[in-house]
Chain A
Amino acid sequence: MSILIYAESENKKLKKAAFEVASYAASIAEKTQDDVVAVTVNADNTGDLGQYGVSKVLNVQNESLEKFNVESYSEILTKAVEETKADIVILSQSANAKYLAPLLSVNLKAGYASNVVELPETESGFQVKRNVFTNKAFGMAEITTDKKIIGLSSNAFGLHEKEAKAETVDFNPEISDSSIEVQSVDKNTDKVSIADAEIVVSGGRGLKGPENWGMIEELAEVLGAATACSKPVSDMGWRPHSEHVGQTGKPVASNLYIAIGISGAIQHLAGINASKTKVVINTDEEAPFFKAADYGIVGDAFEVVPQLVEKLKEFKASNA
């Protein structure tokens, strides 16, 4: 038997999420004595999956699939499950994976648990721990179907190397014509996205206006971080909606989250709660964010942030 993973790539290179999903699958496979098989689409470095415990890669090479297409991609995964007779399918929680997983669930009649944060428990039924109520709680969800789909939350499991040799084979199932056409993709390629970021630097109303975002961007640049913002900031149009993090915006599960001038409304804190280390910089020591943060500075962002940028540059230079 085998466990199937969808290993995502971008510009022909596998993403970090692919290796995290592989690591997670390999840990399950170790217990169940299964093989981990990965599906990749137009990826070049498929052999790298071996380092994370994948033994076989079904690689689709098809120029017409250069742009993500939910129908074609879910069809490929459905056919890969038929081919490998996999009982467990594991995906990341990227925008694309979240897009296709429900279609796959219906195709396979497989129970799907999203936002999963730990390895399954199998003592009484097949149960996975997942985030619910936007990170305000966890739920143990039992998947009762024979085939199971798991959506693994980003950064929840991490990368675990496991020497295996991944054999890559061509996989080219017949794919029906898609009725959805991608007209254009507008992607900011020189900036890291919130979903892929290890570090997120986020600004709130305390920054007083969009003209002051330069220092947030500078700090993000030094750290190789994504930039984000609170809800009021996106509602006022200071920053695009795509940067809004929180309960009704994007969830953040980065290793480090730095909140600047954000007071910490319950909806915001819920959205960023899955981040590992949280830092707050705020003039108001009573701001609720201080209760949720690991480290805090009570101080004026306009004084603290430029200093932080300078000190981090020195730190980076001496640790390079």
Chain B
Amino acid sequence: MKILVCISHVPDTTSKINFTDNDTKFDTNGVQFVIGPNDEFGLTRAMWFKEKQGASVDVVTVGEKDAEPTIRKTLAIGADKAIRVDAKPMDAFQVAQEIADVAKNGGYDLVIAGRESIDYNGGMVPGMVAKMIGANFINTCVSLEIEDQKATAIREIDGGKETLTCDLPLVIGGQKGLVEEKDLRIPNMRGIMMARKKPLEVKAPVSEKSLVEFKKFSKPAPKGDVKLVNADNIDELIDLLHNEAKAI
């Protein structure tokens, strides 16, 4: 089985978010970039398929040179080969086109992406890739088993879960549950050394077409101070929630 894992290069979850150039660009100053958390669960599941079922695992990212340390990390974790499509990510459609091209030409059976990236939170790339390459698609995937080219997956729905089956090729939008938090791997020294010898292919983009463009960013208005209520005065809290906030 050939697996392609899509990796987003995103600000660490603790990052302070600021903008520059008259609020038109994300300010990367002092920001640490990491593998997208949803992608990392998928990557770890891919390593399981590699170790238990002999799958090969390639990773792809669409990004400029600054994304290389992030994708190198996936090689150190155990991916076999990395592909960086040398393009500045503009919107989901453009990124999906690039990944679809890699997926189609590489003949992958399974494409694993995170359900959404934690920067622009579009949540669209996996579904778009699936449609573009004519593969099946399962989103918010929290469990995935593959036997004899057949997938059994659990999808999280609002208020529950759904078990689905389908043939490969398949694209999933993954998240926590594919593996547990404790299963995530930190690259060890041997992995880091080996990663240096693994191929990192830089590929020219096939398209520059984007459909949605960010024009300007803003931050939420600063919040007023919290109103503290005495622990002995629960009635006051109920009164505030009812009459002031109109929340109950």
A141 and B159 contacting across the interface, CB-CB below 8 Å: no
A182 and B166 contacting across the interface, CB-CB below 8 Å: no
B126 and A102 contacting across the interface, CB-CB below 8 Å: yes
**Measured CA separation A186–B142 after assembly (Å):** 14
A279 and B131 contacting across the interface, CB-CB below 8 Å: no
Task: Confirm or deny: B104 has a beta carbon within 8 angstroms of a beta carbon on chain A.
Answer: no
**Measured CA separation A142–B24 after assembly (Å):** 13
**Measured CA separation A270–B16 after assembly (Å):** 11
Task: Confirm or deny: A132 has a beta carbon within 8 angstroms of a beta carbon on chain B.
Answer: yes
Q: Which of B128, B137, B161 contacts A70 (CB 8 A)?
A: B137
Task: Confirm or deny: A65 has a beta carbon within 8 angstroms of a beta carbon on chain B.
Answer: no
**Measured CA separation A242–B241 after assembly (Å):** 27
Q: Which of B137, B140, B158, B227 contacts A295 (CB 8 A)?
A: B227
Task: Confirm or deny: A29 has a beta carbon within 8 angstroms of a beta carbon on chain B.
Answer: no
The segment out of A39-47, A49-57, A303-311 that lies at the interface is A303-311
Task: Confirm or deny: B38 has a beta carbon within 8 angstroms of a beta carbon on chain A.
Answer: yes
**Measured CA separation A215–B50 after assembly (Å):** 44
Residues in A121-166 with C-beta less than 8 Å from chain B: 125, 127, 131-145
A308 and B159 contacting across the interface, CB-CB below 8 Å: no
CB A108 to nearest CB in B, in angstroms, measures 10
Task: Confirm or deny: B181 has a beta carbon within 8 angstroms of a beta carbon on chain A.
Answer: yes
Task: Confirm or deny: B199 has a beta carbon within 8 angstroms of a beta carbon on chain A.
Answer: no
A277 and B241 contacting across the interface, CB-CB below 8 Å: yes
Given A101-B124, A244-B176, A267-B13, residue A112 in contact with residue B211 (CB < 8 A): yes
**Measured CA separation A106–B227 after assembly (Å):** 48
**Measured CA separation A110–B165 after assembly (Å):** 29
A191 and B159 contacting across the interface, CB-CB below 8 Å: yes
Q: Which of A99, A107, A131, A183 has the most CB of B within 10 A?
A: A99
- Which residue of A is nearest B239, CB measured? A315
**Measured CA separation A291–B228 after assembly (Å):** 11
The segment out of A80-88, A206-214, A247-255 that lies at the interface is A247-255
Given A187-B157, A199-B248, A256-B245, residue A296 in contact with residue B214 (CB < 8 A): no
Residues of A within 8 A of B158 (CB): 94-96, 193-196
A111 and B159 contacting across the interface, CB-CB below 8 Å: no
Q: Which of B132, B167, B182, B211 contacts A110 (CB 8 A)?
A: B211
Residues in B216-230 with C-beta less than 8 Å from chain A: 216-220, 223-224, 226-230
**Measured CA separation A141–B248 after assembly (Å):** 34
Residues in A177-195 with C-beta less than 8 Å from chain B: 179-188, 191-195
Size band of the interface chain B makes with A:
35 or more
Task: Confirm or deny: A169 has a beta carbon within 8 angstroms of a beta carbon on chain B.
Answer: no
**Measured CA separation A63–B38 after assembly (Å):** 35
A241 and B213 contacting across the interface, CB-CB below 8 Å: no
B128 and A102 contacting across the interface, CB-CB below 8 Å: yes
The segment out of B53-61, B73-81, B115-123, B185-193 that lies at the interface is B115-123
**Measured CA separation A223–B242 after assembly (Å):** 12
Q: Which of B120, B211, B230 has the most CB of A within 10 A?
A: B211
Task: Confirm or deny: A266 has a beta carbon within 8 angstroms of a beta carbon on chain B.
Answer: yes
Q: Which of A135, A181, A193, A299 contacts B159 (CB 8 A)?
A: A193
Task: Confirm or deny: A1 has a beta carbon within 8 angstroms of a beta carbon on chain B.
Answer: no
**Measured CA separation A126–B213 after assembly (Å):** 10
Given A181-B166, A242-B156, A296-B226, residue A138 in contact with residue B124 (CB < 8 A): no
Q: Which of A114, A127, A270 contacts B215 (CB 8 A)?
A: A127
CB B160 to nearest CB in A, in angstroms, measures 3
B216 and A139 contacting across the interface, CB-CB below 8 Å: yes
Task: Confirm or deny: A48 has a beta carbon within 8 angstroms of a beta carbon on chain B.
Answer: no
Given A142-B212, A267-B13, residue A187 in contact with residue B160 (CB < 8 A): yes
Interface string of A274-303 (1 = CB under 8 A from B): 001101100000000011111111111001
Q: Which of A68, A114, A290 has the most CB of B within 10 A?
A: A114
CB B166 to nearest CB in A, in angstroms, measures 4
A295 and B226 contacting across the interface, CB-CB below 8 Å: yes
Interface string of B144-183 (1 = CB under 8 A from A): 0000000010011111111111110000000111001110
**Measured CA separation A65–B100 after assembly (Å):** 29
Residues in B32-77 with C-beta less than 8 Å from chain A: 37-38
Q: Which of A94, A114, A182, A307 contacts B122 (CB 8 A)?
A: A114
Q: List 15 A-B contacts (CB under 8 A).
A: A96-B158, A98-B140, A102-B127, A102-B131, A132-B119, A133-B17, A136-B219, A140-B218, A144-B213, A180-B136, A187-B161, A295-B228, A296-B228, A297-B229, A315-B248
Q: Which residues of B contact A (CB under 8 A)?
A: 11, 13-14, 17, 19, 37-38, 91-93, 96, 118-128, 130-132, 136-140, 142, 152, 155-167, 175-177, 180-182, 210-220, 223-224, 226-231, 234-235, 237-238, 240-242, 245, 247-248
Q: For the complex of A and B, list the 9 residue pairs with the smallest distance between their C-beta atoms, beginning with the closest.
A: A102-B127, A193-B159, A299-B231, A111-B211, A187-B160, A106-B131, A256-B247, A195-B158, A102-B124
